[in-house]
Amino acid sequence: MASSGGRNPELRKDSVSNRWVIFSPARAKRPSDFKSKTPTNSNHLQQKCPFCIGQEHQCAPEIFRVPPDDPNWTIRVIENLYPALSRSLCDPSAPSSDSGHRDIGNRVLDGFGFHDVVIETPIHSVQLGDLSPEEIARVFLAYRKRIEQLASRDSIEYVQVFKNHGASAGASMSHSHSQILALPIIPPNVSARLGSMKDYFEQKGKCCICQIESEDLVINASTNFISLVPYAATFPFEIWIVPRYHSAHFHELDAEKAVELGGLLKLILRKMSLQLNNPPFNFMIHTSPLHCNNASELAYTHWFIQIVPQLTGIGGFEIGTGCYINPVFPEDAAKVLRELLGS
């Protein structure tokens, strides 16, 4: 079988997640043969889609819309009709709260939190990558506004912004949307990332994400952002978009940089769609815990966006070991995506 230059398998450790990844090119065809067998086809019109403009009455309550109070909205942030956590439970940090079993020592917390949906466009057939850089920027700024609202609550420790595109990536609605989950805990991947980035900082005196600019892994770059395949990518064609300036929190993003980021995300989504046959994908914003404000912690945490096309499944080996097998070397994936569209 044709492998990428007949390379031997290799183990690489990612300095951000502190996880080992096995690169095993013999399992794959050429990197350019890696296409989704289940492309997302969401252009069909869905009857009575509650996310479409004019169907607002079918949705859970609205939190805000852009522009405010405009019936011709471009973005709506609403409550999730089927939330993973409940906003109506007593806020554990509220002074009146006095529940006996809310004891971290017992590893039980009330399921308090916020689970919101961001409807990215009023039009059913439009996908995030179809929007202009300015329109994508408005989606980022809606995330920012909502994160700022959630950050005002002491009990919320972390906010995860994510997007599931395509049914096999977990999207239950084909209308383009993303989700925001605000948690009363710091999730395990975030703790592991912070620990790993702290170790790197203590050893080298530098933020590890500020250091990752490596030419053969870069896909595209703009003034303030860089898109690349990480050195120890967990998944084939996994892509990160990273600010080139040091910034701990996504919600520090300003309006001007949001447009630049929108342009780069649009380009990456277009390349992924063309090269990988419009695959289902997940997109995650990795930021820092909300109440991390001390200078030493802010020095080694750095937000970024991770985009993962769903091309391979997870099997027993991955579940058993927490170690992933990636059949495409990151430099090969980066080359395929860099050279597309002559950019």
Q: What residues pair up with 226 in beta bridges, in sequence order?
A: 221, 242
Quick check: 51 binds Zn ion (CB under 5 A)?
A: yes
- 136 belongs to the binding site for Zn ion (CB under 5 A): no
Residue 57 catalytic? Answer: no
Contact 191, 185 (CB under 8 A): no
Give the full edge-to-edge strand order of the sheet including 10-13.
10-13, 20-23, 324-326
Contact between 246 and Zn ion (CB under 5 A)?
yes
Q: How far is the CB of 48 from Zn ion (least distance, A)?
A: 9
Which of 22, 59, 151, 210 is close enough to bind Zn ion by CB under 5 A?
A: 210
Helix H or strand E segment including 266: helix 255-276
59 is in an annotated binding site: no
Distance of CA 61 to the CA centre of its chain: 25
In the complex, the smallest distance separating the C-beta of residue 167 from Zn ion, rounded to whole angstroms, is 15
329 vs 29: CA distance, rounded Å? 12
- Contact at 8 Å (CB) between 182 and 159? yes
- Tell whether residue 208 is among the known ligand binding residues: no
Stretch that binds Zn ion, among 13-21, 175-183, 216-224, 313-321 (CB under 5 A): 175-183
- With contacts defined by CB under 5 A, name the span among 154-162, 167-175, 194-202, 270-278 that binds Zn ion: 167-175
Residue 217 near Zn ion by CB under 5 A = no
Which residues contact residue 252 at a Cβ distance below 8 angstroms, ignoring those fewer than 6 apart? Answer: none
Query: What is the rounded distance in angstroms from the CA atom of residue 143 to the CA atom of residue 90?
Result: 24
- 291 assigned ligand-binding residue: no
Closest alpha carbon to 207 in 198, 216, 215: 198
The reply on whether position 58 binds Zn ion by CB under 5 A is no
Interface with Zn ion includes 124 (CB under 5 A)? yes
Residue with tokens 């399992």: 27
Residue 35: CA atoms inside 13 Å, Cβ hemisphere, count?
11
Among 2, 49, 84, 341, binds Zn ion (CB under 5 A): 49
When asked if residue 207 is in the footprint of Zn ion (CB under 5 A), the reply is: yes
How far apart (Å, rounded) are the C-alpha atoms in residues 104 and 107? 5
Q: Which of 115, 146, 266, 302 binds Zn ion (CB under 5 A)?
A: 302
Check binding of 266 to Zn ion (CB under 5 A).
no
Given 115, 165, 177, 251, which residue is catalytic? 177
Which residues make up each annotated binding site for Zn(2+)?
Answer: 49, 52, 124, 175
Q: Which residues are catalytic?
A: 177
Contact set with Zn ion (CB under 5 A): 49, 51-52, 124, 175, 207, 209-210, 246, 302
